[in-house]
C-alpha cells in the first residue's frame, strides 16, 4: 500500500512532568521475576502498608531504570506517571493490588500528568488536553528500557489503565482493567509489545441515547514497527475490543472478544495520535488468528471528524490496511443494536472497507484495503451478513476494496457480494 503524500518531519516531544490536582474524574522485556528478586542489575522497591513506600508514585520517583517495584495487596488511589524509566512493576494479584481513581466528589487527588495541557494538543481540533488525556493508572512516557507490568488491577481512570508511549519492550500480563475512559491497555509509538492474558471490561458512563465507553480495551497505535503480540486476553464492553490503529506488524491471537460495539479492528487512517500529527504510519501486516469474536452488539456514537457516526455489530473489521491474514477465527452472532441501514459504517461478521481520509490536515490518502487473506474461519450468525466487502453501493462514503482479497476454506452463509459465501 502506498500513501500518496509525503509527511513533514516529526516534532520533538516535550518531556516535562508536572502535578495535576483534580477533585474527581471525568470521562484514554524484562522477564517477570519471582517476588523478592530484583531485575538484573537493579534493585527492588517495596510499596504497601509498613513498607518503605506508601505510594506507587513515590517508589517510581526514586527508582532507576532496571529496578523492580513490588506492590502489596491493597487499593492505591493514584494516577502514576513513569517518565524515561524502564521498570518492572509487579502486583500481588489482579484482584489483590488495585490502582483506582475516584469517580465521585472525592477529595482532591494529586495526579502526575505525563502530558500537560500545553504539550498534548488533539490533532483533529487543536484543543489542549485535559484530565482525560493525563490521568492513567500507569503511564510510561518514553521509557529508556523495557517495561513489564503484571498481577495488578486498574480501575476507572479517565485516560488509560496501563499505557506506554515510545517503549521498546512493553510487556503486560495477568492484569485486570475496569471502566477506563480511553484505553484499557495502550501501546503507542512502541515496538516489541506483549499484551497477554489480561482481562478488560468497559463501562457505559453515558445515557441510553448517548452511550459513552472507552475507545478500546486493548490498542496498538501509531507504531511503525510494532512487532506486537496481543494474545489470550478477554475483553468486553468497549467501543472496540482490540484495536490495531495506524500500526504495522503484529499478531492478534487466541483472544475472546465479545459485548463490544466492534470486536477486532485493524485501521489505517493516515492520522497519527498525540503529540505529533505529522507522522504517517502505513497500517497493516497483521495476523488475526484463533480468536473468538462474538456477540459484539453494543451501540456506539462517535462525534469525531464527520458528525455523529453510529457504529455497532462488527466481529472483525479491516479498514484501508494491507497485508492482513485472518485465519481460523470464530466470528459469530455479531448483530447491530439498531437497523443496519442507520449505521455510519457497514455491520457484519467480517467487514473489509476502503474509506477516504477524514480529519487529515496533511491530505494523506491511506489507500484501499488490499492484500487480505481470509482462510479457515467460521463466520456465522452475523447481521446483515457474515462477510461484507464495502462499496459505494452500500455507503456513498466508501470506495471500492483494492486488489488481492482472497477467501479460502471458510464457513459462512450470507455475504455482500453474495458469491463469497455461495455454496
User: Could you tell me the pTM of the whole model?
Assistant: 0.86
pLDDT tens across 390-422, in order? 988 888 888 999 999 999 999 999 999 999 998
347 contacts 395 by C-beta, under 8 angstroms: no
CA 401 centroid distance within chain: 25
What is the phi/psi pair of residue 56, to 5°? -65, -40
pLDDT at 128 over 70: no
Q: What's the pLDDT tens digit per position in 292-350?
A: 999 999 998 765 544 567 899 999 999 999 999 999 999 999 999 999 998 988 999 99
Mean of per-residue pLDDT scores for the chain:
83
**Predicted pLDDT at 121:** 44
Domains and CATH numbers, the chain: 29-420 (2.160.20)
pLDDT tens profile 254-294:
999 999 999 999 999 876 665 566 677 889 999 999 999 99
Count CA atoms within 13 Å of residue 82 on its CB side.
33
- List, for residues 51-82, the tens digit of each pLDDT value: 999 999 999 999 999 999 999 999 999 999 99
DSSP string, 55-82: SHHHHHHH--TT-EEEE-SEEEE--EEE
- How far apart CA 387 and CA 377 sit, in angstroms, is 11
Phi, psi of 163 (to 5 degrees): -140, 145
Amino acid at each position: 500500500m502506498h500513501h500518496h503524500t509525503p509527511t513533514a518531519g516529526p516534532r520533538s516531544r516535550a518531556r516535562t512532568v508536572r502535578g495535576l490536582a483534580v477533585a474527581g474524574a471525568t470521562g484514554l522485556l524484562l522477564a517477570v521475576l519471582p517476588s523478592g528478586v530484583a531485575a538484573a542489575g537493579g534493585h527492588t522497591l517495596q510499596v504497601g502498608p509498613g513498607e518503605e513506600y506508601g505510594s506507587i508514585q513515590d517508589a517510581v520517583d526514586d527508582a532507576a531504570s532496571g529496578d523492580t517495584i513490588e506492590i502489596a495487596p491493597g487499593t492505591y488511589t493514584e494516577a502514576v506517571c513513569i517518565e524515561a524509566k524502564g521498570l518492572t512493576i509487579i502486583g500481588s494479584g489482579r484482584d489483590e493490588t488495585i490502582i483506582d481513581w475516584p469517580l465521585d466528589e472525592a477529595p482532591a487527588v494529586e495526579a502526575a500528568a505525563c502530558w500537560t495541557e500545553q504539550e498534548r494538543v488533539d490533532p483533529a481540533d487543536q484543543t489542549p488536553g485535559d484530565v482525560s488525556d493525563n490521568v492513567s493508572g500507569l503511564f510510561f512516557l518514553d521509557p529508556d528500557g523495557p517495561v513489564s507490568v503484571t498481577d495488578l488491577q486498574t480501575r476507572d481512570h479517565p485516560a488509560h489503565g496501563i499505557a506506554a508511549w515510545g517503549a521498546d519492550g512493553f510487556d503486560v500480563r495477568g492484569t485486570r482493567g475496569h471502566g477506563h475512559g480511553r484505553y484499557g491497555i495502550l501501546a503507542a509509538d512502541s515496538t516489541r509489545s506483549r499484551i497477554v492474558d489480561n482481562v478488560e471490561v468497559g463501562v457505559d458512563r453515558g445515557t441510553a441515547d448517548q452511550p459513552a465507553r472507552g475507545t478500546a480495551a486493548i490498542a496498538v497505535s501509531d507504531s511503525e514497527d510494532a512487532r506486537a503480540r496481543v494474545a489470550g486476553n478477554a475483553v468486553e464492553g468497549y467501543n472496540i475490543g482490540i484495536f490495531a490503529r495506524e500500526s504495522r506488524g503484529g499478531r492478534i491471537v487466541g483472544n475472546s472478544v465479545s459485548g463490544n460495539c466492534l470486536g477486532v479492528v485493524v485501521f489505517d487512517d493516515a492520522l497519527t495520535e498525540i503529540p505529533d500529527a505529522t507522522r504517517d504510519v502505513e497500517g497493516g501486516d497483521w495476523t488475526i488468528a484463533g480468536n473468538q469474536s462474538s456477540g459484539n452488539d453494543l451501540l456506539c456514537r462517535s462525534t469525531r471528524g464527520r458528525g455523529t457516526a453510529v457504529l455497532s455489530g462488527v466481529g472483525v473489521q479491516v479498514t484501508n490496511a494491507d497485508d492482513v491474514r485472518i485465519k481460523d477465527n470464530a466470528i459469530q452472532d455479531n448483530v447491530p443494536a439498531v437497523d443496519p441501514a442507520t449505521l455510519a459504517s457497514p455491520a457484519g461478521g467480517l467487514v473489509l472497507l476502503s474509506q477516504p481520509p477524514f480529519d487529515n490536515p496533511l491530505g494523506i490518502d491511506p489507500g484501499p484495503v488490499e492484500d487480505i487473506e481470509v482462510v479457515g474461519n467460521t463466520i456465522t450468525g452475523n447481521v446483515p451478513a457474515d462477510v461484507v466487502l464495502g462499496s459505494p453501493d452500500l455507503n456513498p462514503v466508501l470506495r471500492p476494496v483494492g486488489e488481492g482479497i482472497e477467501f479460502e476454506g471458510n464457513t459462512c452463509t450470507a455475504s455482500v457480494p453474495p458469491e463469497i459465501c455461495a455454496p
